[in-house]
Chains A and B, each alone.
Chain A
Amino acid sequence: ETVLTQSPGTLSLSPGERATLSCRASQSVNSAHLAWYQQRPGQAPRLLIYSTSSRASGIPDRFSGSGSGTDFTLTISRLEPEDFAVYYCQQYGSPPPWTFGQGTKVEMK
């Protein structure tokens, strides 16, 4: 099973600042099979990025993803008030299970 470790656990930033979130895998992940999600309180997760760097439908271009192998990054270029939430990475390698990271909370400073 591939374990995903996200860092930091909590990121305290102000609106307008840049957020950089890390996701590290215990073994190499095909970049086609790494996704990022946003979860706001009381809501289901929402797909932001798939295949490491492709934005899902309707996702603003301030969200971008990068990485390869075991190290992946989600960047939010300028935080908007609605971006303060918890972010998860997920890998879809074979064989299942398709595992999630433990999450990074982006909170307002």
Chain B
Amino acid sequence: QVQLQESGPGLVKPLQTLSLTCNVSGDSITSGPYYWTWIRQSAGKGLEWIGRTLITGSTNYNPSLRSRLTISVDTSKNQFSLKLRSVTASDTAVYYCARTLYDIMTGYGLGDDNWGHGTLVTVSS
């Protein structure tokens, strides 16, 4: 049974970089076909899709975050990561990592079948 676990600081100062890692256990991150995805949830915005990566390192980002965002994967450590630069209070949220099934013919997603428990990140000085 695959498990995902987010880790990283719970408090980040404004204008600094939010860095989170998702550790995947119980299966290789190279098994597939899966995207490895970040999603966040705040009271004001509900669930927001942040972006995804393949094990090749190919990524897609939410256009609203693209200029500040980097998602990367480290297959040797069975984990993937998120870096969000120049954060503000509006980036305060619970951040989830998830595994996304996708259609190998089209590349379109089908569903996020495994999620981490989520980690609360607060942006405050």
Contacts and interface: CB of A to CB of B under 8 A. Distances in A.
Contacts of B64: 97
B110 A50 contact: yes
Interface residues of B, number: 29
A51 B47 CA distance: 19
Contacts of B110: 32-33, 35, 50-51, 92
A89 B103 CA distance: 18
A97 B49 contact: yes
A35 B111 contact: yes
Interface stretch (B12-20, B24-32, B75-83, B115-123): B115-123
Contacts of B113: 47, 50, 56-57
Interface in B56-91: 60-64
Interface string B38-58: 000000001111011000000
A100 interface: yes
A79 to B, nearest CB: 23
B109 A88 contact: no
A9 B52 CA distance: 29
A38 B77 CA distance: 31
B111 A45 contact: no
- Nearest first, the 4 A-B pairs at minimum CB distance are A92-B109, A50-B111, A44-B115, A100-B47
Interface of A: 1, 30, 32-33, 35, 37, 43-47, 49-51, 56-57, 88, 90, 92-100, 102-103
Interface of B: 46-49, 51-52, 60-64, 96, 98, 100-103, 106-113, 115-118
24 contacts: A1-B63, A30-B108, A32-B103, A33-B108, A35-B110, A35-B111, A35-B112, A37-B112, A44-B98, A44-B117, A45-B115, A47-B111, A50-B111, A51-B110, A90-B49, A90-B112, A92-B102, A94-B107, A94-B108, A97-B63, A97-B64, A98-B49, A100-B46, A103-B47
